[in-house]
Structure 1
Amino acid sequence: MYHILYVDDEKDLLTITKFFLEKTGELLVDTCTSSREVLTSGTLSSYDAVISDFQMPDMNGIEFLKAVRSEFSDLPFILFTGRGREEVVIEAINQGVDFYLQKGGDPHSQFAELAHKIKKV
């Protein structure tokens, strides 16, 4: 079983994503609405991968990625965001993101793709 942390400021999306990802029983998903809270909690080492939104109030997904990488360089990180701007993708890749997925479209396909990426890292 993979233990995943998903950080997003949209509580409804956290709930829906957790439901879809945990359906198969292969993934256990913890959620949090604050990247700063995660960084100060001391729990990052207990996860197999991190999923993060890009646009959040306390710090954006790239800043969160940098902070995670500074402590846990091998912890897989997936940026899962509604922001599809090219410069965000380039910056994420330059900072070492493992995968970048854009939110939207068919929910079943979207969450199946996200689960597939988690299992690849």
Structure 2
Amino acid sequence: MPDRIRALYVDDEPGLLEVTRLFLEKSPEFSVDTAESAQDALDSPAIASCDAIISDYQMPGMDGIAFLKAVREKYGDIPFILFTGRGREEVVIQAINNGADFYLQKGGDPTAQFAELAHKIRQAVSRKRSQDELKAAYEQI
């Protein structure tokens, strides 16, 4: 991708925030901001300029689904990936029904897990950029 991808990762586990940020930023295409709560993310100036949001589900104050709803209401269709240790079917259904682009479960081999996360971020951002370009071209007609 020609443009760098700015991601915002939200999780209440500081250690996981740092490990994920370091892994993603090993690739020069990623720049990652972090927040330890959904409210911190919503209050952060980084949210308005990010290309994708990655969020945990279970966080104090506001869970990942409530955060997704707040993002959709205020910022529209920023690509949103729920990245969580909670693998319950109802959480997956809620995430998709509320507009999440992808749902990934934490756990297993860290290298494979972070590679899959990076792939999903690229995929979601590429799709959004293509939609934006198509919309801009259509508006010029």
TM-score normalized with structure 1 length: 0.97
Unaligned runs of 5+ in 2: 125-141
Structure 1 partner of 2:129? none
Identity %, equivalent residues = 64
In the alignment of these two chains, the number of paired residues is: 121
State which drifts further: 34-43 or 76-85.
34-43
Match of 1:43 in 2: 46
Aligned residue number for residue 107 of structure 1: 110
1:66 aligned onto 2:69: yes
Bigger helix share? 2
* Structure showing greater relative contact order (alpha-carbon pairs closer than 8 Å, 6 or more residues apart): 1
Q: CA RMSD in A?
A: 0.8
Report the AA paired with residue 61 of structure 1.
Answer: G
Under a length normalisation based on structure 2, what TM-score does the superposition of the two structures give?
Answer: 0.83
Deviation beyond 2 Å, 4+ runs, structure 1? 40-43
1:43 maps to a residue whose letter is A
Structure 1 unaligned spans of 5+: none
Give the Cα–Cα distance (whole angstroms) in 2 for the partners of residues 19 and 92 of structure 1. Answer: 26
Distance in 2 of aligned mates of 1:30 and 1:41: 10
Q: In structure 2, give the amino acid aligned to 1:6.
A: Y
Larger radius of gyration, structure 1 or 2?
A: 2
1:119 aligns with 2:126: no
